[in-house]
Structure 1
Amino acid sequence: MSATSPKKAKLDDDRDYDAETQKALEEIDACQSEIDSLNEKASEEILKVEQKYNQERKPFFDKRNELIAKIPNFWETAFVNHPQLSAILDEEEEECLKHLKKLEVEEFDDIKSGYRIKFHFEENPFFENNVLVKEFHLATPGDPSSKSTPIKWKPDMDLTAKHKEAAKNNGSGGRRRRFDQSRSFFSWFTDHGDASADDIAEVIKDDMWPNPLQYFLVPDIEVENGMEEESEGEEEESEGDDEAVVVVEEEEGSEVENED
């Protein structure tokens, strides 16, 4: 979470106003300055509250990770079911994520300054690392920046190189591509472009990390909803059939009375 500074309106815009309008505009500007000042104070207070609750949430996040570790392929399933994250996953990357045992998001003590995302892997055929970390430094003297753990790929297993080659050969015929053919999960991990507008990092931090269970359970939820809709449809059909029978019986009764 980060505080944003509102843009101040400029009164010296070379436009001519009558004296009454000019005076009103200056008073509005003074009121807006007071509002902006209060907004900044509110942002600071909100950050303090967020820091407090980050500490209180941590034991529950740790407990949740312990429980998740008992479920095979939990994180792979959650990533594959997520509409934005699945769009950058290649088949080999999905296979690699089967070995992802723990995900953690850690905000820095000064929340405005940034955060890190930690991916804990078991031994796997793709790389030597046990933990891959990507950090985002957002409140630095220079521009926002990011850095990540160098991946120690095993021989012939560099998924970033494989993806680039596959994208070059397949053109637009690749499976489940988003907008950028050269983008994949591990190319995102090693990319350090605009750290202040990293949509994948923000999705992981603000959507996946707070509640991964909802994405792990997506297929089950869809099946349950489908069964409910089918059941409702059958009930409506059954009611329609009953009504049809009643109409037929009444018509048959009428014919008998006419014959008499």
Structure 2
Amino acid sequence: MAGNGIPGVPGFWLRVFRHSATLNDMMRPYDEPIIAYLEDIKIEYIANPMGFRLNFHFSNNHYFTNSVLVKEYHIKSVPTPFKHDSEIYKCIGCTIDWLPHQDVTVRLGKQRQRHRSNGNIRVVERLVKNESFFNFFNPPVVPEDPKIEVKDELHVRLATDYEVGQYFRTRIIPHAYLYYIGQAPEQDDNYQDCSSDSSEDTSDSDED
């Protein structure tokens, strides 16, 4: 087995990530050596609660001790006049067991502090959140208590996270080879095809 990637194809999934506009945008240069150890991504459907689980299998590496990183989505069916749509109501990540000094989701930052009595300023170093693909495994947490109102911002973050999960499920996993060779079309879901009439006059000039 190759040291990273999948057997016989080192760096397979890293190349898939690079050829996906969505995943490439989530990935940072310091993520790439870690993703190079990604061997496979498998989907597992669950019935109770309804949803699916994404399993990211990694070969042995010097970044973390996990062999599998898991992301789970719980959805509910929402009836509409024409069909049943799915709606995310919870997602569950996993704890990444980073080896010492290898956690790319945090960085050392500086913060100014003012002394309460004499007003003196000092600068201290502290760990702050860092941009990384691996933040994907630390999703927004929805309160378990139904009496607690979920803020709109949390709904938006949850929906955005679900879009990425669906992207893995419906595009990346079934079409990984096409992404690997750079032949998978990237579709913009914000636009839909509309009918057009080739004979339609789009000229701005007025008729006499």
Calculate the TM-score normalised by the size of structure 2: 0.58
**Secondary structure in structure 1 of the residue aligned to 2:21:** coil
Question: How far does residue 109 in structure 1 lie from its aligned partner after superposition?
Answer: 3.5
Question: 2:174 corresponds to which residue?
Answer: 210
Question: 2:132 corresponds to which residue?
Answer: 184
Question: 1:134 corresponds to which residue?
Answer: 71
Find the aligned partners of 1:182 and 1:207 in 2 and give their Cα distance. Answer: 27
- For the Cα contact (< 8 Å) 1:136–1:195, is it kept in 2? no
Q: What residue ranges of structure 2 are gaps of 5+ in the alignment?
A: 1-5, 78-87, 112-128, 142-156, 184-208
Question: How far does residue 197 in structure 1 lie from its aligned partner after superposition?
Answer: 4.0
1:197-245 deviations in Å (ceiling 9; x for gaps): 42221211111011101111018xxxxxxxxxxxxxxxxxxxxxxxxxx
**Secondary structure in structure 2 of the residue aligned to 1:84:** helix
Question: 1:155 corresponds to which residue?
Answer: 100
Find the aligned partners of 2:158 and 2:54 in 1 and give their Cα distance. Answer: 13
- For the Cα contact (< 8 Å) 1:136–1:147, is it kept in 2? yes
Find the aligned partners of 1:107 and 1:101 in 2 and give their Cα distance. Answer: 20
Find the aligned partners of 1:160 and 1:184 in 2 and give their Cα distance. Answer: 6
Question: 1:70 corresponds to which residue?
Answer: 8
Q: Which moved more, 1:112-121 or 1:148-157?
A: 112-121
- For the Cα contact (< 8 Å) 2:28–2:131, is it kept in 1? no
Aligned residues: 135
Question: 1:95 corresponds to which residue?
Answer: 33
Find the aligned partners of 1:104 and 1:161 in 2 and give their Cα distance. Answer: 27
The structure with the largest strand share of the pair is 2
Find the aligned partners of 1:156 and 1:182 in 2 and give their Cα distance. Answer: 14
Matching residue within 164, 171, 177 for 1:200: 164
> Which of the pair has more CA radius of gyration?
1
**Secondary structure in structure 2 of the residue aligned to 1:203:** helix
The one-letter amino acid of 1:115's match is: F
Find the aligned partners of 1:215 and 1:77 in 2 and give their Cα distance. Answer: 8
Do the aligned partners of residues 182 and 200 (structure 1) sit closer, same or farther apart at CA in structure 2, a change above 3 Å counting?
A: farther
The structure with the largest helix share of the pair is 1
1:76-101 deviations in Å (ceiling 9; x for gaps): 11011111100010111111011011
Aligned-residue Cα RMSD (Å) equals 2.8
Question: 2:52 corresponds to which residue?
Answer: 115
> Does 2:22 align with 1:84?
yes
Find the aligned partners of 1:91 and 1:216 in 2 and give their Cα distance. Answer: 18
